[in-house]
Amino acid sequence: MAELTITTCSLSSGSSGNCIFAGCNGTNILFDAGRSAKAMTELLSQINLTIRDISAIFITHEHIDHVSALKVLISKNKIPVYMVWESFDNLSGDYKDALGEVINFISSSEKVTIGELQVESYSTPHDSAASVGYIIGPAGGKSGKAIGIATDIGHISDEIAQCLRGCRIVYIESNHDPEMLKNSSYPAQVKQRIKSKQGHLSNKECAQLLPYLIQHGARKIILYHLSGENNTKELAVKESKTSILEAKLNVGTVYLGVAPRSAPSKMISVKTKSIT
């Protein structure tokens, strides 16, 4: 078995646009492409890549803050795009036309090999036509859970907990502080949508899962998709640390980061093994 190093960072996070990068030995994958094509190009340049270096794009769901760049990027670069049928079917006609030559439909729990990496999808609860998270590991590897992505989730389902179990690096939504949301200027129906079981995960709901993930191998956790209006980095981190400490775990052994809204996060890595 050969040892491989998988690197990853968040390129953008939040309602202004979402994108996560994972790469290994020249295989470079984006998870979502929610900024403008120009912004995506600029963000990639900050991690020394161009759009021509991207091997594939996997989409979690069809909301605009996850697909905004697709139409322009694909019109100029024939990059394979992977998403579930229901998400594709709910895109506008011009997006469907642009994706016609490169779209690949996946189903929940399907495993796809892209170069050095294997990507597995799983269902997540969100108010879109369909929504999935992703598990990334080495192609052909037995230790397949290197990175887990769980964003835009209304609650922690059993499937999410089981799929993230064993991931060494986890991107997980910590969207809002309930009190800030309650006192915000958002319309009542928007507040209810965010709080719903198909909406977005609060800081507390996110934090409650972290001890379980750490006990099962997570060593680097990135709090993702923080609201710009109803959350702060300090509140999200405090809630997470409190949960970890209350579980009598050593917070010092875990890297706890927050994905910036419009800049790359710190590049982190995990070593894993693949069958050659």
pLDDT > 70 in the chain, percent: 97
Would you give the DSSP letter of residue 202?
A: B
Residue recorded with tokens 């997540």: 124
Percent helix, strand, coil in the chain, to 5, is 30, 30, 40
**What domains are defined for the chain?**
7-263 (3.60.15.10)
Neighbours of 146 (CB within 10 A): 26
Strands (E), the chain: 2-12, 19-24, 27-31, 56-58, 81-84, 103-106, 111-114, 117-123, 132-138, 147-150, 169-173, 220-224, 255-258, 268-274
For 23-44, the pLDDT digits (tens) are 999 999 999 999 999 999 999 9
- For residue range 126-141, list pLDDT tens digits in order: 999 999 999 999 998 6
Please state, in angstroms and rounded to a whole number, the distance separating the CA atoms of residues 136 and 82: 14
Q: Which residues pair with 124 in a beta bridge?
A: none
**Beta-carbon contacts of residue 94 (< 8 Å; ≥ 6 apart):** 71
Task: Please give the helix or strand (H or E) that residue 149 lies within, else none.
Answer: strand 147-150
Here the tokens at position 117 are: 């990496």
Which H/E stretch holds residue 223? strand 220-224
pLDDT at 187: 96
Report CA-CA distances (Å) from 51 to 30, 83, 149, 264, 266: 10, 19, 22, 15, 20
Q: Please tell me the predicted confidence (pLDDT) of residue 63.
A: 97
Per-residue pLDDT of the chain (276 residues; tens, 9 = 90+): 678 999 999 999 999 999 999 999 999 999 999 999 999 999 999 999 999 999 999 999 999 999 999 999 998 889 999 999 999 999 999 999 999 989 999 998 889 999 999 999 999 999 999 999 999 999 986 557 999 999 999 999 999 999 999 999 999 999 999 999 999 999 999 999 999 999 999 999 999 999 999 999 999 999 999 999 999 999 999 999 999 999 999 888 899 999 999 999 999 999 987 655
At 150-173, the pLDDT tens digits run: 999 999 999 999 999 999 999 999
CA angle at residue 235 from 160 to 191, to 5 degrees? 65
